[in-house]
Each structure stands twice: as C-alpha cells, then as structure tokens.
Amino acid sequence: MRILALALLLLASPALADSQMPDAQWANTQLPDPQQERAAKALMEKVRCLVCQGQSVADSDSDLAGDMRSLIRTRIAAGEKPDTIKAWLIERYGKWISYDPPMSGITAPLWIMPLLLLVLGAWLARGRFRKRKSG
Amino acid sequence: MKRTWLWIPLALFGLFFGVMAVGLSKPSSTTITSKMIGKPLPKFSLPPAHAPQPGLGSASFQQGQPRLLNIFASWCIPCIAEAPVLLELTKRGVPIDAIAIRDRPQDVDRFLKRNGNPYQRIGSDVNSAVQMALGSSGVPETFVVDGRGIIRFQHIGDIRAEDVPEIMAALRAAR
C-alpha cells in the first residue's frame, strides 16, 4: 500500500503556473556595450519585482522580472536615460516600485532621522566629555 | 522626577519590540494597483494570440462604449476559475477584449476550447511589454476602459461571481 502511494506520488506532476515561452531577448543577456550594461544593471537593482516582492528585478527569477530586465536593457540600448525609465515605471506602479525612495512628505523621516540621531549623539557625547574634564 | 526618566529607554525598547513583532507576524504582501486609472490607455498594437481571432490595438477602445480589457494567460490557474464568470458577463452584453501574456498560439487555443471563449479580440503580449505599460502586475487582471479610451477601473485577481455587481457598476459609471 505504502509502495503504491509512493509510486503514485512519483507519477504525479506538479501543476505548472509558469509561461512556456522562452525568456525575453535581453532578460538574461548582457548588453554588448559595458557602459550601457552597467547603467542598466544599476537601475535593475533599484527596481522592485512585482511578483517576488522584496527582491529587485535583478535578483528575481520570475517571468515578469525577466521581461522588466529586458525592457530596461532595450531602452538603455536605445539611448534612454535611467531616470526616464524609472519615472516611466513610477508613473505606472507608483513609488513602491523603486528601492530608492525619493524625498517626500512620507519618506522625509527616513532621510532626516539618521542626521537627527547623529546630532543627538554628538550632543550627548559632548556632555560626557565636559563632565570628565571638570571632574 | 529622575525615576520617571529612567523608564524611558525601556519604554522605547518596548515600542521598538512591538513594531518589530507586528512586522514579523504580518509579512507585507502588497497589492500593487495601477496608477494609470483615470489616464488614457497607452498606445499599443498587438498581433493575434491565435489564428481564428483578430489581434488587439488601443484603437479598439475608442468606439464610444465601455469595454473590459482582460489580462490572462493559458498557464494561469486562477484564469480558469474566472472563465465562466467572464462568459456570464458576455451573456449580459458586456464586450470583452483580452491580452494573452507570454503565451503560445496552441496553448491559447487549448485554453479557450476547454474553458470557453468570452473574447472578441485577443492580442499576444509575448514579453509583457503592454502589461507593464498598463501598470498591471500579474494575471488575471481586468480593466474597465470607457468609450474614449480612458482607463476607469482595475480589478486585480480573478473575477468571481460576487465581483460581478462591482464590475457592472464600474461599466455603468464609465458610460
């Protein structure tokens, strides 16, 4: 009985929920021009994958991430600026898509807090040093 | 006075711990809605996804009547669950066009034979280019596009029977 169950398990194939199409042309192929490839790679690392949220499109294996890498490489090869492509993506998916959040009302604390903490730390340290000198 | 000050670090630690605990127990998986709602459909022209039906271009959405634009794929499992509901919508007179994502003609054919064909036109988007231009992040998704080609509504995931009233209301509002 157990052997039969095991045999059936071996025969069962998982339901496939992935495209049968080959990868897009520039999904996993570097651009011939190293400078363009560098610019494309830098942008891919800052674009968040829509399927595997928490990964960049440079790291994700999902089909959509591959297609997005291909789109980025194609546009960079056509001479588009990385910032233009990033703006195009933000226009469609919102700021969420970018791992490099621009300064705005909501993200301001992220940028300002470290500076504030540094100033606070310096102030605290100054107090400590003063005390030691006088004592 | 000095006593109360002493508790502040512990209170801060408690707050920090709480935030972390909540963040860990509820992993964030965000639904990314398209920011294209209220904007015109991006210009596109896609070849037919299988032989018997015409391809799809953005010009089809300028005919004065709202239409549904369904993003699907033969390899997408929730799309199978959605198919009978889409057929029901066509029976109610709703025109539906589709974009097949990363699909092969033979697979689209097989999918439609098995699950029914609610579509008037199907464009083939082999590298998800139009999907990305629409701000769509997966399959299935459905957009309501008004008669002037403006995107009015987005439904993410499969349309279930209980979603039909909402879709019908969005179509009426787009009139």
pLDDT range class, residue B134, cuts 50, 70, 90: very high
As a whole number, the mean pLDDT across chain B is: 94
Task: Verify that A44 and A65 share a domain, yes or no.
Answer: yes
ipTM, two decimals: 0.84
- Tell me which residue range forms the domain holding B123: 45-173
Asked if the structure places residue B19 within a domain, the reply is no
A9-18, B60-69, B121-130 — which is least confidently predicted? A9-18
Asked if the structure places residue A6 within a domain, the reply is no
pLDDT in tens, B78-98: 999 999 999 999 999 999 999
The confidence score (pLDDT) of residue A16 equals 56
Asked if the structure places residue B37 within a domain, the reply is no
Compute the average pLDDT of residues B129-145: 96
Higher pLDDT, B71 or A112: B71
Task: Verify that A128 and A109 share a domain, yes or no.
Answer: yes
Task: Verify that A68 and A32 share a domain, yes or no.
Answer: yes
Q: Which residues contact A29 (CB under 8 A, 6 or more apart)?
A: A73
CATH number at residue B162: 3.40.30.10
The confidence score (pLDDT) of residue A103 equals 74
The confidence score (pLDDT) of residue A132 equals 66
Whole-number Å distance between alpha carbons of A107 and A98: 13
Whole-number Å distance between alpha carbons of B110 and B105: 9
DSSP assigned state of B29: -
The confidence score (pLDDT) of residue A10 equals 67
Give A2→chain B minimum CA distance, Å.
31
Higher pLDDT, A106 or B119: B119
Asked if the structure places residue A15 within a domain, the reply is no
- Partner-chain contact B101 A68, CB within 8 Å: no
- Dihedral angle computed from the Cα positions of residues B123, B155, B141 and A67, in that order, rounded to the nearest 10 degrees: 100
Residue B101, pLDDT above cutoff 90: yes
Residue B30, pLDDT above cutoff 80: no
Q: What are phi and psi of A4, to 5 degrees?
A: -60, -45
Task: Verify that A88 and A31 share a domain, yes or no.
Answer: yes
- Partner-chain contact B132 A63, CB within 8 Å: no
DSSP assigned state of A2: H
CATH number at residue A36: 1.10.8.640
- Tell me which residue range forms the domain holding A50: 24-102
> Residue B40: its chain A contacts at CB < 8 A?
none
The domain total for chain A is 2
Q: Which residues contact A37 (CB under 8 A, 6 or more apart)?
A: A30, A31, A73
Which of B35, B76, B129 lies nearest to residue A17, judging by beta carbons?
Answer: B76
pLDDT means over runs of 10, chain A (135 residues): 73 66 91 96 95 90 94 96 96 91 79 92 88 61
Q: Which of B5, B99, B102 to mutate to test the interface with A (most CBs of A within 10 A)?
A: B102
